[in-house]
Amino acid sequence: MKLRLIALNFLQFFIWGAWLITIGNYWFGTRQWEGADFGIIFSTMGISSLFMPALAGIIADRWINAERLYGILHILGGAAFFCIPQINDPATFFWGILVAMIFYMPTIALANSIAYTVLKNRGLDVVRDFPPIRMFGTVGFIAAMWITNLTGNKASANQFYIAAAVSVFLGLYALTMPACPPPGRALQRKSLVQTLGLDAFALFKNRRMALFFLFSMCLGAALQLTNAYGDVFLSDFGGNPAYGPDNPVVRYSTLIMSISQISETLFILAIPFFLKRFGIKNVMLISMFAWVLRFGLFAFGNPAGGLWMIILSCIVYGMAFDFFNISGSLFVETSTTPAIRSSAQGLFMMMTNGIGAVLGSSISGFVIQKYYTAAGGAKDWASIWLAFAAYVLAVAVLFAVSFKNRQPAPQTAG
């Protein structure tokens, strides 16, 4: 069963890796669309996460088996990805990506819920056993990035066809997984809140959980910045006469960026130790300072003498991402009851990839275009990355002061 969960996680993130890092090359290189509109493309993940993960979680907690809902969403998402290359203008492209993300984004939280349910039903420890399984999701992301780059498709429409095919296959595969029936269906006493599946929102009544979700939103604003601009940042060195388009870092920018995901596979395995030894507050603080270092190293890196900074930044990314994203999901799982498992995971997704991502992508796109882009379109990347680093540093200081490291009992709505 662990092997089956590994396969599910591998395919889950293979779909994302097939296009997420390279869509900038497709947008700017193949379609040659304006940079001002590019930021809103990454906001589609945030917009869909504003409501879909929470809605899907409620449905999985109350009415439909999680694995069935998961499979249906992936099949529909595959159909949406298949249609995207047919779009020929940026405005319609936005809507195409949004539809695909409406189906895809809730599956991330559902994949976690399915894994937690299966593991707990077999008496296993999710804090110990889930991270190695989730690690193969990152391996899938890396595999997709490499396939897209090495087959010459990092700027082609084929990246979306690859995502479409794998999405449909995963949807069918998910329907063969063990049944994960709605845990909330068996509740004997149901208030209106419980009937509608809104129990997870009662977590905001707890100050500690409310702060956790608030700072998750703040980190979520920074989370997609590297995905949106990392590959474009490296590719832009090709326009500098000191490096040129044939520079290995420019030519294989996606492979360089994949070092970030390779680093993830190592840091995921360290999560159980760090969580049990240091607690969620210190783990999230480590994540925040790792983000500061990630952005700061990018600010001063280049494909020549500063290549080591780019490489180190990619290595640090593993800690920055995992210690926030994976640890946060585990924290939510261990702080809530099974009856609201899927909706609580959906709420975490809503705050990070929803509200946080929407704010981060929209504000960053505006700020970069207005303050850090020259008349000819050249971007002041050093200042951009330093601005991102300053933002995360401010978030880290506020989190250290306000978040109390006390572990409450798992809870739900009364």
The Cα–Cα gap between 380 and 386 comes to: 10
Span 375-399, pLDDT tens digits: 777 888 899 999 999 999 999 999 9
Give the pLDDT mean for 403-412: 55
Q: What is the pLDDT of residues 2-48, one digit of tens each?
A: 999 999 999 999 999 888 877 877 777 777 777 667 767 777 887 88
Residue-level pLDDT at 36: 62
- Residues in Cβ contact with 397 at an 8 Å cutoff, skipping those fewer than 6 apart: none
Are 205 and 343 contacting, i.e. CB atoms less than 8 angstroms apart? Answer: no
Q: Residue 99: its pLDDT value, please?
A: 95
| Burial readout 204-242 (b: 16 or more C-beta within 10 A, e: otherwise) | eeeebbebbbbbbbbbbbbbbbbbbbbbbbbbbbbeeee
Can you state the angle between helices 126-150 and 307-334, rounded to 10 degrees? 140
Residue with tokens 């992936």: 74
What is the band of 227 on the pLDDT scale with cuts at 50, 70, 90? low
Which segment, 135-139, 170-174, 216-220, is predicted with the most confidence on average?
170-174
Q: Nearest-CA neighbor of 294 among 386, 214, 203, 379?
A: 386
pLDDT tops 50 at residue 413: no
User: What is residue 73's predicted lDDT score, i.e. its pLDDT?
Assistant: 96
Q: Quick check: 118 pLDDT over 60?
A: yes
pTM above 0.75, yes or no: no
Quote the CA–CA distance of 60 and 72 in Å, as a whole number. 12
409 band by pLDDT with thresholds 50, 70 and 90: very low
Mean pLDDT of 223-239: 77
Q: Which residues of 148-177 are buried (b: 16+ CB within 10 A; e: fewer)?
A: bbeeebbbbbbbbbbbbebbbbbbebbeeb
Residue 414: per-residue pLDDT? 36
Q: At residue 341, does pLDDT exceed 80?
A: no
- Domains in the chain with CATH codes: 2-180+192-402 (1.20.1250.20)
Mean pLDDT of all residues in 95-115: 92
Q: In this predicted structure, what is the pLDDT of residue 269?
A: 84
Per-residue confidence band for 209, with pLDDT thresholds at 50, 70 and 90: confident
Question: What's the whole-number mean pLDDT along residues 259-277?
Answer: 84
- Please indicate whether residue 93 or residue 226 has the higher confidence score (pLDDT): 93
- pLDDT value at position 412? 41
Question: Burial, 199: exposed, middle or buried (Cβ in 10 Å; 0-12, 13-18, 19+)?
Answer: buried
Q: Which residue has the higher pLDDT, 215 or 226?
A: 215
How many CB atoms within 10 Å of residue 289? 18
* 134 pLDDT more than 60: yes
**Where is pLDDT greater, at 155 or 85?**
85
Helix/strand/coil for 379:
strand
**pLDDT recorded at residue 406:** 60
Q: So what's the pLDDT on residue 185?
A: 59
Alpha carbon distance 264, 321 (integer Å): 7
Q: Under DSSP, is residue 305 helix (H, G, I), strand (E, B) or coil? A: coil
